[in-house]
Chains A and B, each alone.
Chain A
Amino acid sequence: MQQRSRNGINDFAIKLANVNGTGSASANGLLMQAIFRMGVPVSGKNLFPSNIQGLPTWYEIRVSKDGYGARSLDYDLMVAMNAQTYARDIQEVRRGGYVLYDSSWPLDRALWRDDAQFLPIPLAEMCNSRFRNPRERTLLKNIAYAGALVAFLDIDMAVIETLLDEKFAGKKALRESNRQALHIGYDYAREHFSCPLPFHVQTMDANRDKILIDGNTAAALGCVYAGATVAAWYPITPSTSVMDAFREFCERYRREPETGRHNYLVLQAEDELAAIGMVVGACWAGARAFTATSGPGISLMNELLGLAYYSEIPAVIIDVQRVGPSTGMPTRTQQGDLLECAYASHGDTKHILLFPANPGECFEFAVKAFDLAERFQTPVIILSDLDIGMNDWVVPRLHWDDSYRPDHGRILSKEDLDRLPKFYRYSDEDENHVTPRTLPGVSPKGAYVARGSGHNKLGAYTETPDEYQQVMDRLARKHRSAADAVPLPQIEDTARSRIGIITLGGCDPAVREALDLLADGGITADYLRIRGFPFHKSVEEFLYAHDVCFVIEQNRDAQLRALLVLETCVPKDRLRSVLAYGGFPLSARHVVESVSQHVQELTIAGKMKGRSG
């Protein structure tokens, strides 16, 4: 039940064990990209250390004709390039699987497995004799094993050659040494082993309308398309590439053609306190501004998130979550910032959260975040994670509707102000409980002092209980009304089961695969993926419509479950947690095992009435 039977063609997983800082990432990416170009559904997961050079790093490639993109824990082939981790890596291969290793040095017999097949290739030896420069030797050894994999997995050599042509356009010498290295591995594999292996790639046509993109790039692109002009940040893994990408896109699309002037400004702040401060300042002045950060940065931003919430200033924050608490494991993934973001800052604060599940939604939600932030005049936090943000995903091509115009919400123009007898910042509440704001530089009539200190609905300083509460109560209503504006949950309840499965964000592919596997094993369940907070009413309805709901998330403390308990009326005991928080992306196996076990226990305890699915 844990694994659908594989016939091996376009249905397998390989894991590559490397030392970081040796250039393996580009060889691994090359393989993944080649499979993608062959039209075959593929996913790649980079499991890397928080280190620049010398520590173990892994890359997993899963090929799945059925389009399952979650981590598979059943490795058909291990490319063992790191002697430090041989013992563990070799053990991880499935029974009957293969181990490719560098036989320039003998492999300790103690590591040998009788139920796996070994593919020894003297990669270092061959590369050392072919290439002079030591750095080149290390780099090209990676291309050499990639060459061997081209043979073993029957990857189209022409596709690889094209990729190298593109990559090294204008760098003839490099292109040539890469070609040579590729063939060193390829030729050796074909001469010494029977190629391809039983599992391999076969050209398909599944990727015609797909792209290969990571969530951080997609989010940055969303910010460009949303019209963000000011970005402020402080470098932190795994969010750094959001700003790198934003800057690159801006260099391309945001220079005035005649003058070369920049229609954007990226501020590398002194810390996250300042980064969010700059965003709040820019949004107060009327720009679309955002920051990208991760857990430690969110901790620092709490103070000003409260200021923005209370003074009703829009702001967009992209939190690419990593493993906490504290510094935690910076290069590992988690969904541990849910509670912190939902109620970030002291006092009664509540924020709007968006939970993209893949790079496509990172793009879409980034645009949405600016509209929501401006419409509701409040911070909006996009909770992505390292897996979504930094790994390349195969997703449908992004679409853009040229008729889109930013929703700036209620901003009074000079003419609007001229018509008003007098402007009061926090009066004239609309159906979303939003009051109109004004921007500096428009009219003295719109002037007011934005403040984080107590204020009344006129915008004046107050310490009077009623006046204070009046504003706070409206803020609560405003937050509630955002439930209808955040992306709706994705619900698949065709199974009409008594079991519901609830998840969010990057758990999606693993959970979807698990649903299929569970169904194969006789357990059917309905599915709901939360995409925004505050929760839409359909979330509560779904909870009530199922005897038991499994809440699947990647943190220790069941934070999504806690949020559901806090923010809906559903009895706690209907919600059962399935948690994974070790730092690697979720796999279907984990979900299937946990859910099956729960269902068994519940059935024994008589808590599941009638059929189990």
Chain B
Amino acid sequence: MPSIAKPVVRHPSQQTNELGLTIRDYEGTMSTLCAGCGHDSITAAIVRALWEIAMPPHMLGKMSGIGCSSKTPAYFANGAHGFNSAHGRMPAIATGAAAANRDITYIGVSGDGDSLSIGLGHMCHAIRRNVRMVYVIENNGVYGLTKGQFSASADVGSKSKRGESNQFQPIDPVILALGLGATFVARGFSGDKEHLVPILRAAFAHRGLALVDVISPCVTFNDHSGSTKSYLYTRKNELKATAADFVPVREEIVTSIAEEGVTSIAMHDGNIVRFRSVPEGYDPTDRQRVMSFLLDKKNSSEIVTGLLFIDETVDNLHEQNNTSAVPLCQLPYEQLCPGARALDQLQDEFR
């Protein structure tokens, strides 16, 4: 069971990707999380996705806040720069980094405390700005690192380990993001890597901010009966709305045979994402219908997973700003300084 076994034994695969890298080249330092923590499985899915898309490690930026979840960027892609910043501030820091260097692919890893409480404002605004990044919320319904307090994603009536019942309405990042105009919204489950990896691959190909909420049980503080973020509960209540299938450009010709019930979407970078929709007629490009579907399922306590919504037509932050194609941090100084002559001329206006 991939959701319980801690990946202590490294992946044996010697198979290389198109950069000649094995999956081990995308691993990081040893995880220090609790054995069985859902976050470790997400790390494994990220490793897999990065390997599959052949991401040059040094072209990845790993951003996080504070929490058990935010520790995980150290556990994948050793060859990538990381920034384990401050609680809740990751979206702001990632926005600045993305502003400075648009050539880097950013992945932000956050927790439900990090993103839905202390950093909620920053998350919302990063979504509004459509910063090009993959934004993963490792959602366990609790504050793991501070030992199990309810987070803002805890469902009404869900029980803490000590038996208290949460009274407050949960914030569902998926519904929130859709309301904010997010251009890519997905939900996965840490216990289902096969389902999550293609979602992450599609997220990496997205034009703007790709929000990926991943239910990630906290085995230490929130995996008991009465919890609505446990392995058992999630398995029982999961409803896969779509199964995404990520098709890289080079394979398109071979695989783009029309299939019944399959929607294909061309990503910004030319790659294709294909969805097999489980509920008939589910259309991941229709924001309004997706929202009402999700609200509906929320009422019946179903956890809808899959690549839930996508819109590849919206400009990202740099496109809105019409920023130079060369990353701002690499522009030669000569192109940035107007020079002494210009200063002299300008000052004639200050008289």
Q: Among A213, A260, A285, A451, point to the contact of B61 (Cβ < 8 A).
A: A285
**Which residues of chain A are within 8 angstroms of B322 by Cβ–Cβ distance?**
260-262
B58, A307: Cβ atoms under 8 Å? no
Contact bitstring A118-140, B, C-beta under 8 A = 1, else 0:
00000000000000000000000
Q: Among B331, B337, B347, point to the contact of A211 (Cβ < 8 A).
A: B347
**Which residues of chain A are within 8 angstroms of B96 by Cβ–Cβ distance?**
230, 232, 267, 277-285, 289
B10 part of interface (Cβ distance < 8 Å): no
- How long is the Cα–Cα vector from A598 to B124 in the complex, in angstroms? 57
**Which residues of chain B are within 8 angstroms of A229 by Cβ–Cβ distance?**
100, 328-329, 331, 336
Q: Nearest Cβ in chain A — how far from B328, in angstroms? A: 4
Known: A278-B92, A398-B343. A269 touches B125 (CB 8 A): yes
State which of B72-80, B174-182, B187-195 sits at the interface with chain A.
B72-80
**Which residues of chain A are within 8 angstroms of B78 by Cβ–Cβ distance?**
444, 447
- How long is the Cα–Cα vector from A289 to B318 in the complex, in angstroms? 16
Q: Among A225, A285, A287, A444, point to the contact of B338 (Cβ < 8 A).
A: A225
B81, A448: Cβ atoms under 8 Å? yes
A328 part of interface (Cβ distance < 8 Å): no
State which of B83-91, B159-167, B216-224, B279-287 sits at the interface with chain A.
B83-91
Q: Nearest Cβ in chain B — how far from A479, in angstroms? A: 21
6 A-B residue pairs with CB within 8 Å: A256-B324, A262-B324, A277-B96, A282-B328, A440-B80, A448-B82
A280, B93: Cβ atoms under 8 Å? yes
Number of A positions contacting B (CB below 8 A): 73
Q: Among A36, A264, A440, point to the contact of B328 (Cβ < 8 A).
A: A264
Contact bitstring B30-74, A, C-beta under 8 A = 1, else 0:
000000000000000000000000001111011100100000011
A282, B81: Cβ atoms under 8 Å? no
Known: A211-B350, A400-B343, A440-B81. A287 touches B99 (CB 8 A): yes
Q: Nearest Cβ in chain A — how far from B54, in angstroms? A: 14
A260: nearest chain-B partner, CB-CB: B322
- How long is the Cα–Cα vector from A440 to B95 in the complex, in angstroms? 15
Tell me the A252-278 residues at the B interface (CB within 8 Å). 253-254, 256, 259-265, 267, 269-271, 273-275, 277-278
**Which residues of chain B are within 8 angstroms of A303 by Cβ–Cβ distance?**
86, 89
A450 part of interface (Cβ distance < 8 Å): yes
**Which residues of chain A are within 8 angstroms of B265 by Cβ–Cβ distance?**
none
Q: Nearest Cβ in chain A — how far from B146, in angstroms? A: 14
B236 part of interface (Cβ distance < 8 Å): no
Q: Among B101, B339, B342, point to the contact of A286 (Cβ < 8 A).
A: B101
- How long is the Cα–Cα vector from A212 to B349 in the complex, in angstroms? 9
B351, A211: Cβ atoms under 8 Å? yes
Known: A227-B337, A267-B99, A400-B340. A443 touches B328 (CB 8 A): no
**Which residues of chain A are within 8 angstroms of B66 by Cβ–Cβ distance?**
453
State which of A87-95, A349-357, A401-409 sits at the interface with chain B.
A401-409
A438 part of interface (Cβ distance < 8 Å): yes
**Besides A274-B91, A447-B82, 17 other A-B contacts (C-beta < 8 A):** A211-B347, A212-B350, A227-B336, A253-B338, A270-B125, A277-B89, A277-B95, A278-B99, A281-B83, A283-B100, A284-B83, A286-B329, A307-B85, A406-B333, A440-B80, A444-B78, A449-B83
A542 part of interface (Cβ distance < 8 Å): no
B325 part of interface (Cβ distance < 8 Å): yes
- How long is the Cα–Cα vector from A269 to B81 in the complex, in angstroms? 24
- How long is the Cα–Cα vector from A232 to B99 in the complex, in angstroms? 10
Closest 7 CB pairs of A and B: A281-B96, A277-B92, A444-B79, A278-B96, A287-B100, A449-B82, A281-B93
Q: Nearest Cβ in chain A — how far from B22, in angstroms? A: 14
B103 part of interface (Cβ distance < 8 Å): yes
B99, A282: Cβ atoms under 8 Å? yes
- How long is the Cα–Cα vector from A279 to B344 in the complex, in angstroms? 30
A274, B82: Cβ atoms under 8 Å? no
Q: Among A37, A227, A275, A444, point to the contact of B333 (Cβ < 8 A).
A: A227
- How long is the Cα–Cα vector from A353 to B340 in the complex, in angstroms? 27
A537 part of interface (Cβ distance < 8 Å): no
B104, A401: Cβ atoms under 8 Å? no
**Which residues of chain B are within 8 angstroms of A452 by Cβ–Cβ distance?**
84-86
**Which residues of chain A are within 8 angstroms of B343 by Cβ–Cβ distance?**
221, 225, 398-400
- How long is the Cα–Cα vector from A544 to B305 in the complex, in angstroms? 72
B122, A398: Cβ atoms under 8 Å? no
B226 part of interface (Cβ distance < 8 Å): no
B7 part of interface (Cβ distance < 8 Å): no
B73, A449: Cβ atoms under 8 Å? yes
B299 part of interface (Cβ distance < 8 Å): no
**Which residues of chain A are within 8 angstroms of B342 by Cβ–Cβ distance?**
253
B323 part of interface (Cβ distance < 8 Å): yes
B84, A450: Cβ atoms under 8 Å? yes
B95, A287: Cβ atoms under 8 Å? no
A307, B336: Cβ atoms under 8 Å? no
Q: Among B83, B125, B325, point to the contact of A274 (Cβ < 8 A).
A: B125
B247 part of interface (Cβ distance < 8 Å): no
B328, A265: Cβ atoms under 8 Å? yes
B97, A285: Cβ atoms under 8 Å? yes
Q: Nearest Cβ in chain A — how far from B14, in angstroms? A: 19
**Which residues of chain A are within 8 angstroms of B336 by Cβ–Cβ distance?**
224, 227, 229, 254, 263
Binding site for A on B (CB under 8 A): 56-59, 61-63, 66, 73-74, 78-86, 89, 91-101, 103-104, 121-122, 124-125, 129, 317-318, 321-325, 327-331, 333, 335-340, 342-344, 346-347, 350-351
A212, B351: Cβ atoms under 8 Å? yes
**Which residues of chain A are within 8 angstroms of B99 by Cβ–Cβ distance?**
230, 232, 265, 267, 278, 281-282, 287, 289
Q: Nearest Cβ in chain A — how far from B135, in angstroms? A: 14
- How long is the Cα–Cα vector from A440 to B289 in the complex, in angstroms? 40
Known: A282-B99, A284-B93, A441-B101. A447 touches B81 (CB 8 A): yes
Q: Nearest Cβ in chain A — how far from B313, in angstroms? A: 21
- How long is the Cα–Cα vector from A303 to B93 in the complex, in angstroms? 13
- How long is the Cα–Cα vector from A281 to B122 in the complex, in angstroms? 13
- How long is the Cα–Cα vector from A405 to B336 in the complex, in angstroms? 11
- How long is the Cα–Cα vector from A254 to B61 in the complex, in angstroms? 27
**Which residues of chain B are within 8 angstroms of A256 by Cβ–Cβ distance?**
324
**Which residues of chain A are within 8 angstroms of B129 by Cβ–Cβ distance?**
267
Known: A229-B328, A274-B121, A398-B343. A449 touches B84 (CB 8 A): yes
A270, B81: Cβ atoms under 8 Å? no
**Which residues of chain B are within 8 angstroms of A402 by Cβ–Cβ distance?**
339-340
A552 part of interface (Cβ distance < 8 Å): no
A442 part of interface (Cβ distance < 8 Å): yes
- How long is the Cα–Cα vector from A59 to B317 in the complex, in angstroms? 42
A278, B103: Cβ atoms under 8 Å? no
B93, A441: Cβ atoms under 8 Å? no
- How long is the Cα–Cα vector from A402 to B334 in the complex, in angstroms? 10
**Which residues of chain B are within 8 angstroms of A211 by Cβ–Cβ distance?**
347, 350-351
Q: Among A230, A267, A304, A400, point to the contact of B339 (Cβ < 8 A).
A: A400
A41 part of interface (Cβ distance < 8 Å): no
**Which residues of chain B are within 8 angstroms of A270 by Cβ–Cβ distance?**
92, 121-122, 124-125
A225, B337: Cβ atoms under 8 Å? yes
Q: Nearest Cβ in chain A — how far from B26, in angstroms? A: 11
A401: nearest chain-B partner, CB-CB: B340
**Which residues of chain B are within 8 angstroms of A282 by Cβ–Cβ distance?**
96-97, 99-100, 328-329
Q: Nearest Cβ in chain B — how far from A111, in angstroms? A: 39
A443, B86: Cβ atoms under 8 Å? no
Q: Nearest Cβ in chain B — how far from A442, in angstroms? A: 7
Q: Nearest Cβ in chain A — how far from B78, in angstroms? A: 7
A472 part of interface (Cβ distance < 8 Å): no
**Which residues of chain A are within 8 angstroms of B331 by Cβ–Cβ distance?**
229, 263
B97, A284: Cβ atoms under 8 Å? yes
- How long is the Cα–Cα vector from A229 to B335 in the complex, in angstroms? 11
A446 part of interface (Cβ distance < 8 Å): yes
Q: Among A249, A287, A453, point to the contact of B329 (Cβ < 8 A).
A: A287
**Which residues of chain B are within 8 angstroms of A405 by Cβ–Cβ distance?**
333
A441, B84: Cβ atoms under 8 Å? no
B328, A273: Cβ atoms under 8 Å? no
- How long is the Cα–Cα vector from A440 to B57 in the complex, in angstroms? 10
A230, B122: Cβ atoms under 8 Å? no
Known: A229-B329, A278-B99, A442-B58. A450 touches B83 (CB 8 A): yes
